[in-house]
Amino acid sequence: EIANLIEKMYGTHYSPAKVSIISKQMIPKVEANHKRKLSDKFFCVYRDTTYIPWRRDTFEREAVYFAIGIKANGHQEV
């Protein structure tokens, strides 16, 4: 399913084995991102949602929530 999605989005085909290898390489990066410390002070925080057209069980579109914090110096964190 992931290989088909990548092909539709980017026009490049990856075999299921290649998708599995990429996924395994990304797991430590995703876990590190989840565990990182965020700044304790933000000048402003924007929150939004976008909907991704995935097919999982009965869902056709799934919400992805994100927040962007802006510090007083202009640095942004997602």
Contact 30, 23 (CB under 8 A): no
The whole-number pLDDT of residue 59 equals 63
The whole-number pLDDT of residue 56 equals 65
The whole-number pLDDT of residue 26 equals 87
Q: Which amino acid is at 39?
A: S
Residue 63 pLDDT class (50, 70, 90 cuts): confident
User: Is the confidence at residue 61, as pLDDT, over 80?
Assistant: no
Paired sense of beta strands 62-70 and 76-77, if any:
antiparallel
pLDDT tens across 16-58, in order? 888 888 888 989 998 998 888 877 788 888 999 988 877 666 6
pTM beyond cutoff 0.85: no
Which helix (H) or strand (E) segment is 47 a member of? strand 44-52
